Structure 1
Amino acid sequence: MWHKIITKINRIVENITALLLALMVLAVFVQIVSRALFNMSFPWTEELARYLMIWVTFLGASFAFQYGAHISIEAFVSRLKQQWSQILHVIVAIVCTAFFFILIVKGIEMMDRSMIQRSAALGIPMGYVYSVIPISGCLMILNLIDVTMKALKQPEQTDSTKKGIEGVE
């Protein structure tokens, strides 16, 4: 049940991220065409592309956990016994959760403080731009829990199984 919920959430976030990425490309394209054809540029396209890039980066980082796309040191962990590997995985998950919790708290503070400030070209409250920070922090915690649960449920691997897995990657 838990895994299905996380998978559904990640699918929604992936689709939103893809849409935002497409909008960002479109904004940059409009900027390029307006400069090339009309010798003028729209100030809002650069700002929109920048804010969409922020959203794409934070949202993409949140579902990247499911694909193992974040930097890790597998060479060290794969040499450990299963028990020590799981203990290390839990320790890393606790440290990451603490960081994500700080990201959520400070992101909410930043979002609240900047709601009165408006962006230069679009005129939107900057708090909306910064709201992705606590949103992605929550999503990262959920994905970290899911990945950690999967890692702890893995059966013990023999040395030949580990070599087979390393050979595939």
Structure 2
Amino acid sequence: MDRLNMTTEWLTALFLAVMVLLIFIQIVSRLFFSVSFSWTEEVARYLMIWSTFLGASFAFKYGAHIGVEVFVRKMPRIIKNIVQIIASLASLAFFVILISMGWEIIGLSMVQTSPALDIPMGYVYIIFPISGVLMILNLIDVTIKSILHNENDVTNEVPMD
């Protein structure tokens, strides 16, 4: 998982760098040369979409997704594990829907082309199932590590009277 996440991080960073470069080119060409390239805005928009979905997939590694941990941290180990599994199953259901609906959208949008680049929009939307699979893999990895960490954590045990 670490290698896959590292590759995803580098790809996301590359997409962000290209996006910034394209927007810079667009601004400079418009400001100094009164020339506007329609394709730069479109490519930058698609790179932003891809960067967002790829970033969401490896954000699991860093625990960067929103969560309410204040109550969970005070729970006994077994309850923590149960809450973690329930939350993971809910997330898994969402990611499966993302993959399923993503494939539907791809199928429907392969006949639609983008305005400036004239490429099938399905190529843009293919990030939905890709990120769904990456998120499932990261979810499994993080859930297993979290449960194993909770099993080894004896400091949060509720004392027995």
Quickly name the TM-score band, shorter chain normalised.
over 0.9
User: How many pairs are equivalent?
Assistant: 155
Q: How far apart in 2 are the matches of 1:157 and 1:71? A: 26
Which letter does structure 2 place at the counterpart of 1:131? I
CA drift of 1:31 comes to 0.7
Structure 2 equivalent of residue 36 of structure 1 = 31
Give the counterpart of 1:50 among 42, 45, 63.
45
Query: Aligned pair 1:137/2:137, yes or no?
Result: no
* 2:92 paired residue among 97, 100, 106: 97
> How far 1:40 sits from its partner (Å)?
2.5
Identity %: 56
Moved over 6 A (4+): none
Equivalent residue number for residue 79 of structure 2: 84
TM-score (norm 1): 0.89
**CA distance, structure 1, for counterparts of residue 11 and residue 146 of structure 2:** 27
* Residue identity in the other structure for 2:31: A
SS of residue matched to 1:78: helix
1:113-124 alignment runs, 5 A limit: 113-124=108-119
- Partner in structure 2 of residue 75 of structure 1: 70
Unpaired runs of 5+ residues, structure 1, are 1-5, 160-169
**C-alpha distance after superposition, 1:15-67 (max 9, x if no partner):** 11111111111110111011111122111111111000000000000000000
Match of 1:20 in 2: 15
Corresponding residue for 1:108? 103
5+ long unaligned stretches in structure 2? 157-161
How far the C-alpha of 1:157 sits from its partner, in A, is 3.6
Distance in 2, matches of 1:157 and 1:108, equals: 44
Give the secondary structure class of the aligned counterpart of 2:60. Answer: helix
